[in-house]
Each structure stands twice: as structure tokens, then as C-alpha cells.
């Protein structure tokens, strides 16, 4: 290698010789104009070889004005490459050696760590084989390379996040999501560990709940106390920490170093997530050795923490929903079984009661007739009241039987032309003598409707009985009938206590009874309106109620003249 005195003495001579060699006769001015104004940096170099002919260093003979802009260096003429680039890459010397030996122009893109720049360089030999001179024409392409690298990282990151989402979507339990996520992330980062923690700030405790460890590393699942890891307090404030080296990081206490080294965990990124007022979760990527985490890695870890937390929460909600739905199905099945048992019991009990009640009714009527014949008025009146109670019991038994048949779809109907006004008058006559209420009939001329006279009569009787039961004595009950374009409509209006909006929505349900204090004195099982509603529906009609508290109630039902099907 030449020493500095030799280089300085020969520099001017060498440069002049080069200008002569490069220029074409008469074109030196053109060369100079291009040399000084070109956007690319240009440098003319002299190669310094050892005795074996290998290039050891490079002397900068001349540079153009753009050189400084692309390199950031000034006053480089007369200096060697080793002075400006202490860590001269071997690949650079190899490329220069190739051009000098072969004379083949070579363009390369190379990264210089000492400059922290990417350069696109065209190397040219000046002169014939054996010439020590080279020219390099180059431009700074650092921004382009960074953009390409950023774009690549962005595409790679996007692809990774898509893969993560697809993989986690296939898992069905929170535990499976957490464990699969830590494995995927550890493989992507090529880390030794990855784990999640459930954080309980109030108890100064955290629990590692999901993890992935490389083979040979111990599991970290379990409880960890804040007192053993003072860094936890710093994390609460910082939310994210990247520790490159546990042994030297100033954020760690001596106790931290001992605790993390024992795991072992000597470099890591930790992201804390705050939901509501408290930190509830942390996500950690770690190495048993040291590692310089990049800004992009830290940002990606922060995004992963949010995504994985959301995936675990979503899966937990879905699991809870499935369990709730299963419990509801089980409860529904059990309820159906209970309802079935209840209906079976009611049916059996009703049948068993009907025969003895019929016999009691018969014997009571016989005894009553004999009491009348013997002019035993007081005893006859007692038997009359007994017969009335037996009639009520018979109605109740029939209602229970009808309820069971209705629920099972076995309630029988005999449809035929029916005069609805006749039905109203017949049922009213049965009831009129047993009450002090006044009845007002507002009947319109009606065409016959296809109906089961007995069942529709049952509806009318139920509505009249309810009107009598839930309105004051001696008040008026109005019964109306109206012809519709394709049907008939009947209504029963009372001057009673009325029904609340809440009760109106349920009043046609089986066994439902209004629970207002004023209604507590009225007996009943809540079957009459249910049975009536079912009968009207089987006639393809509709039963409804119109009422306001304190202003009475009006029950209205309509059925078509002809049934479909």
C-alpha cells in the first residue's frame, strides 16, 4: 500500500493524466461540463494493491459536486476509502477487483453501514488492462430502498395478519385461540417464547394463561407477583416496553434482572392492554438471549395484542352464547316434559272426577225433588245451592278437559250453518236468571256462518260470565252483533274495573289471571279466555280486548262466513 506522501505528490500528476485519458481530443470542455453538472456523483479512484495484486485500499483522486450531496462527505480528495469507511465491506472490494481485472463495467446496489445509505453504483475501468484507475458513477437510492423495504414489510405484515385471523377463526375455545396465537406469533418473530397474562392490578398479581415455548424451555403458566417484578409498575405507566438486554437495560432493577434471568427471559417486548379503568391483559414476545427489537416489531406487537385479545373475547362470548343456548334448550325440554306431565295429570284427574261428579249431581237433583214434594223449603234451598256448586265444578272439569284437548290439538268441532244471534239469545237465557245485571242487546241482522254452534256458544258464555264476574252488580252489560263483508262480529261490553295494557298482552294465555288487588276476590283458573281464544282461532277468526282501567272492558271476536280448507 502506498504511503500518504507518495499519494500527495502523485495526486496532481495522476489526475491530469486521467483527464487526458478520458477525454476525446477537443472534447475536454464537454467532459468538464458533464462532470460538474451531472446529478449522479462521480469519483475517480486509484487502486492500491499488495504484492499479490489484491486491492487493499482506494485513493480518491477527484470528485464532482454531486458527490458530496449523495455521500454527505466533504474534502475527500486525497483520502483513502478506509479513512471514510472504517468497516470496508469485502463485497465492495471484490466488485472493484472484478472491474479492474476484467474491464467489464459493473452496476450494483450496495448498502454501506458506516454511511447508513444505499448506493446504486456503476464501476468503470479507466485505461487498458493493468490500469490502477477506476471511475464510479453513483446515486443515493436510500429512500427508494426504504420505500421498497417498507412496502415489502407492509405486504408481509398484511399477509401475516390475514393468516393469523384465518387460523384463529378456526378455533372454538378461548384457550385454543390463545395457545394457537402465541405459537403463530413466536414462529413469525422467531422468538423463544410468547405468552399472554391476565393482570389483576388490585391484587398485584398476574397469571400466565396461554403460552408457546421452544422445545427445552420450561413452561411459564401460573401466578406471578408484582413484588418479584418491579418492572410491572413501569409497564402500567408505559403500556409498552421493549427490553433489548435485561442485563444492561436501565429500566430494570436488580431484582428484575434476577427474576427475568431465572426464567430465562433476557430480551422481550411487553404490551399492556387497558380495558375500562384497569389493565387486564398483557402480551409478551421474548428471547432467552439478547435482541435489538425494531420499531416495526414493537408496533406490530401492539397491534397483535389488540387483535388477539379481541379474538379471545369474541370466542369467549361465542362460547358463553353456545352454553347459554344449550342450557336454554335443556330447560325448554325439561319445561315441555313438565307441561306434558301436568297436562296428562289434568286429563286423568278430569276424567276421574267427571263420573263421580255426574253421579253426585244426579243424586242431589233426586233428593231436591223429594224435598220439594215434602214441602221442606229450607232443605230444598240448601240442595239448590249444592246443585249450583256442582254445576260450577262440572264447568271447571269441562274446562280442564277442553284445555288438555286444545293443547294436544284434539278438541273436536262440528261445523255447520249457524245463526249467531240465536246463539247469543240462548246463552243469555241460561245466565240471565242468576244475576242482577241488566243486559242490553244491540243485534243486527246476520247471515249464517259456518261454525260449531256448541263451541261458539261456549265462547259467548265465557265472555258473559266474565262480564258479570268483573263488573259491579246491577250494572249494564251490552251484547252486540254486526255483519262484516265476509263474516260476523260479536262483542260483550261491561262497566267493570278494566284491564291494564300489561295484562291485555297476556290475558289469553293458558292459566293467566289478572293479579290486580281488586281481582283477588274473583275465583277462576285462567282457562276461560284461553279456551275461547283457541275456539275462535279454530274458526279462523280473532278474539281481542279493548279496555282502560276503571272504564270497563269490551271483548270482540269475529269469524268468517265460510272456513278455508
To the nearest whole number, what is the mean pLDDT of the chain?
A: 83
Mean pLDDT of 431-459: 92
Q: Which residues of 64-95 are buried (b: 16+ CB within 10 A; e: fewer)?
A: bebbeebbeeeebeeebbeebbeebeeebbeb
- Residue 382's Cβ-count burial label (10 Å; 0-12, 13-18, 19+) is middle
Mean pLDDT of 90-103: 83
Same domain, residue pair 361 and 453: no
pLDDT-derived band at 560, boundaries 50, 70, 90: very high
Residue 83 belongs to a domain with what CATH number? 3.30.450.20
27 domain residue, yes or no: yes
* Residues of the chain above pLDDT 70, percent: 86
Q: What is the pLDDT of residue 50?
A: 85
Which is more confidently placed, 560 or 144?
560
Question: Comparing 80-94, 364-378, 549-563, which segment has the lowest mean pLDDT?
Answer: 80-94
Look up cell 444505499; give the residue.
118
Q: Helix, strand, or coil here: 112?
A: strand
Q: Helix, strand, or coil here: 126?
A: strand
Collect contacts of 80-84 with beta carbons under 8 A, ≥24 apart: 80/7, 80/48, 81/45, 81/57, 82/57, 84/114
145 domain residue, yes or no: no
pLDDT-derived band at 558, boundaries 50, 70, 90: very high
Look up cell 385454543; give the residue.
176
pLDDT-derived band at 10, boundaries 50, 70, 90: very low
pLDDT tens readout for residues 34-88: 677 788 888 998 998 888 888 888 899 999 888 888 888 889 899 998 888 776 6
Same domain, residue pair 404 and 434: no
Q: Report whether pLDDT(240) > 90.
A: no
Contact 41, 69 (CB under 8 A): yes
Query: Which region holds residue 524: left if phi is over 0, alpha if psi is between -120 and 50, else beta?
Result: left
165 domain residue, yes or no: no
pLDDT tens readout for residues 149-167: 666 567 777 788 888 888 8
pLDDT-derived band at 430, boundaries 50, 70, 90: confident
pLDDT-derived band at 415, boundaries 50, 70, 90: very high
Same domain, residue pair 116 and 207: no
69 domain residue, yes or no: yes
Q: What is the pLDDT of residue 182?
A: 92
- Residue 52's Cβ-count burial label (10 Å; 0-12, 13-18, 19+) is exposed
pLDDT-derived band at 439, boundaries 50, 70, 90: very high
Question: Comparing 118-122, 233-237, 250-254, which segment has the lowest mean pLDDT?
Answer: 233-237
Collect contacts of 422-429 with beta carbons under 8 A, ≥24 apart: 423/453, 423/456, 423/457, 423/460, 424/460, 424/479, 424/481, 424/490, 426/457, 427/457, 427/460, 427/461, 427/464, 428/464, 428/479
Same domain, residue pair 287 and 404: no
Q: Report whether pLDDT(207) > 70.
A: yes
Domain-ending residue, one of 410, 425, 444:
410
pLDDT-derived band at 11, boundaries 50, 70, 90: very low
Same domain, residue pair 279 and 374: no
Residue 389 belongs to a domain with what CATH number? 1.10.287.130
How far is it, in rounded angstroms, from Cα 357 to Cα 417? 34
Same domain, residue pair 123 and 10: yes
156 domain residue, yes or no: no
Same domain, residue pair 275 and 344: no
Query: Which region holds residue 93: left if phi is over 0, alpha if psi is between -120 and 50, else beta?
Result: alpha
Which is more confidently placed, 118 or 403?
118
Mean pLDDT of 479-501: 94
Same domain, residue pair 14 and 133: yes
Q: What is the pLDDT of residue 482?
A: 96
How far is it, in rounded angstroms, from Cα 40 to Cα 62? 14
Residue 266 belongs to a domain with what CATH number? 3.30.450.40
H/E element, 556: strand 553-560
How far is it, in rounded angstroms, from Cα 480 to Cα 185? 78
Q: What is the pLDDT of residue 140?
A: 85
Q: What is the pLDDT of residue 249?
A: 85
Residue 444 belongs to a domain with what CATH number? 3.30.565.10
Same domain, residue pair 363 and 451: no
Q: What is the pLDDT of residue 279?
A: 61
The two beta strands, 476-484 and 438-443, are parallel
Contact 424, 384 (CB under 8 A): no
Which is more confidently placed, 167 or 526?
167
Q: Is the peptide bond preceding residue 264 cis, with omega within 30 degrees of 0?
A: yes
Domain-ending residue, one of 140, 161, 184:
140
164 domain residue, yes or no: no
Same domain, residue pair 406 and 423: no
Give the domain range for residue 281: 171-293
Q: Report whether pLDDT(264) > 50.
A: yes
Q: Report whether pLDDT(265) > 50.
A: yes
**How many domains is the chain partitioned into structurally?**
4
pLDDT tens readout for residues 308-334: 988 888 888 888 899 999 999 999 898
221 domain residue, yes or no: yes
Give the phi and the psi of residue 42 in degrees, each rounded to 5.
-130, 135
Q: Report whether pLDDT(500) > 60.
A: yes
Domain-ending residue, one of 293, 308, 331:
293
Same domain, residue pair 49 and 136: yes
pLDDT-derived band at 94, boundaries 50, 70, 90: confident
153 domain residue, yes or no: no
pLDDT-derived band at 487, boundaries 50, 70, 90: very high
Same domain, residue pair 467 and 482: yes
Amino acid at each position: 500500500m502506498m504511503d500518504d506522501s507518495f499519494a500527495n505528490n502523485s495526486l496532481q500528476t495522476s489526475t491530469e493524466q486521467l483527464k487526458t485519458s478520458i477525454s476525446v481530443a477537443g472534447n475536454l470542455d464537454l467532459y468538464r461540463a458533464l462532470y460538474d453538472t451531472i446529478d449522479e456523483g462521480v469519483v475517480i479512484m486509484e487502486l492500491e494493491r499488495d504484492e499479490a495484486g489484491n486491492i487493499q485500499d482506494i485513493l480518491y483522486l477527484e470528485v464532482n459536486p454531486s458527490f458530496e450531496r449523495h455521500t454527505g462527505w466533504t474534502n475527500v480528495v486525497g483520502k483513502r476509502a478506509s479513512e471514510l469507511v472504517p468497516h470496508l465491506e469485502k463485497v465492495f472490494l471484490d466488485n472493484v477487483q472484478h472491474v479492474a481485472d476484467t474491464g467489464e463495467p459493473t452496476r450494483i446496489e450496495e448498502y454501506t453501514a458506516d454511511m447508513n445509505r444505499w448506493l446504486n453504483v456503476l464501476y468503470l475501468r479507466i485505461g487498458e488492462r493493468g490500469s490502477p484507475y477506476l471511475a464510479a458513477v453513483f446515486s443515493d437510492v436510500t429512500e427508494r430502498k426504504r420505500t421498497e423495504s417498507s412496502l415489502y414489510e407492509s405486504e408481509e405484515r398484511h399477509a401475516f395478519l390475514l393468516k393469523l385471523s384465518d387460523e384463529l377463526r378456526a378455533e372454538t375455545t378461548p384457550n385454543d385461540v390463545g395457545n394457537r396465537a402465541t405459537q403463530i406469533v413466536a414462529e413469525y418473530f422467531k422468538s423463544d417464547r410468547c405468552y399472554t397474562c391476565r393482570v389483576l392490578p388490585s391484587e398485584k398479581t398476574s397469571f400466565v394463561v396461554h403460552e408457546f415455548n421452544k422445545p427445552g424451555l420450561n413452561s411459564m403458566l401460573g401466578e406471578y407477583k408484582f413484588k418479584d417484578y418491579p418492572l410491572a409498575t413501569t409497564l402500567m405507566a408505559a403500556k409498552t416496553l421493549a427490553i433489548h438486554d435485561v442485563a444492561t437495560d436501565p429500566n430494570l432493577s436488580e431484582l428484575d434482572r434476577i427474576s427475568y434471568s431465572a426464567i430465562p427471559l433476557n430480551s422481550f417486548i411487553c404490551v399492556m392492554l387497558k380495558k375500562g379503568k384497569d389493565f387486564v391483559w398483557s402480551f409478551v414476545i421474548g428471547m432467552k438471549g439478547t435482541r435489538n427489537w425494531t420499531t416495526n416489531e414493537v408496533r406490530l406487537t401492539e397491534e397483535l395484542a389488540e387483535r388477539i385479545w379481541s379474538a379471545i373475547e369474541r370466542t369467549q362470548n361465542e362460547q358463553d352464547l353456545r352454553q347459554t343456548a344449550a342450557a336454554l334448550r335443556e330447560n325448554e325440554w325439561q319445561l315441555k316434559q313438565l307441561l306434558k306431565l301436568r297436562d296428562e295429570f289434568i286429563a286423568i284427574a278430569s276424567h276421574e272426577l267427571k263420573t263421580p261428579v255426574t253421579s253426585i249431581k244426579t243424586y242431589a237433583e233426586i233428593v231436591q225433588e223429594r224435598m220439594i214434594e215434602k214441602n221442606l223449603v229450607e232443605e230444598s234451598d240448601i240442595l239448590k245451592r249444592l246443585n249450583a256448586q256442582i254445576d260450577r265444578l262440572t264447568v271447571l272439569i269441562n274446562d280442564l278437559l277442553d284445555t288438555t284437548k286444545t293443547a294436544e290439538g284434539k278438541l273436536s268441532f262440528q261445523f255447520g250453518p249457524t245463526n249467531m244471534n240465536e246463539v247469543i239469545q240462548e246463552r243469555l237465557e241460561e245466565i240471565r236468571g242468576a244475576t242482577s245485571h241488566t243486559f242490553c242487546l244491540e243485534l243486527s241482522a246476520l247471515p249464517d256462518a259456518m261454525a260449531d254452534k256448541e263451541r261458539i256458544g261456549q265462547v259467548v258464555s265465557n265472555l258473559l260470565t266474565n262480564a258479570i264476574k268483573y263488573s259491579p252488580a246491577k250494572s249494564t252489560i251490552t251484547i252486540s252483533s254486526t255483519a262484516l263483508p265476509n263474516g260476523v262480529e260479536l262483542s260483550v261490553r261491561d262497566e267493570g274495573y278494566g284491564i291494564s295494557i300489561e295484562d291485555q298482552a297476556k290475558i289469553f294465555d293458558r292459566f293467566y289471571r289478572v293479579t290486580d288487588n281488586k281481582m283477588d276476590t274473583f275465583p277462576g283458573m285462567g282457562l276461560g279466555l284461553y279456551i275461547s281464544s283457541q275456539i275462535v282461532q279454530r274458526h279462523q277468526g280473532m278474539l281481542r280486548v279493548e279496555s282502560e282501567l276503571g272504564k270497563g272492558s269490551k271483548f270482540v271476536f269475529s269469524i268468517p262466513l265460510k272456513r278455508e280448507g
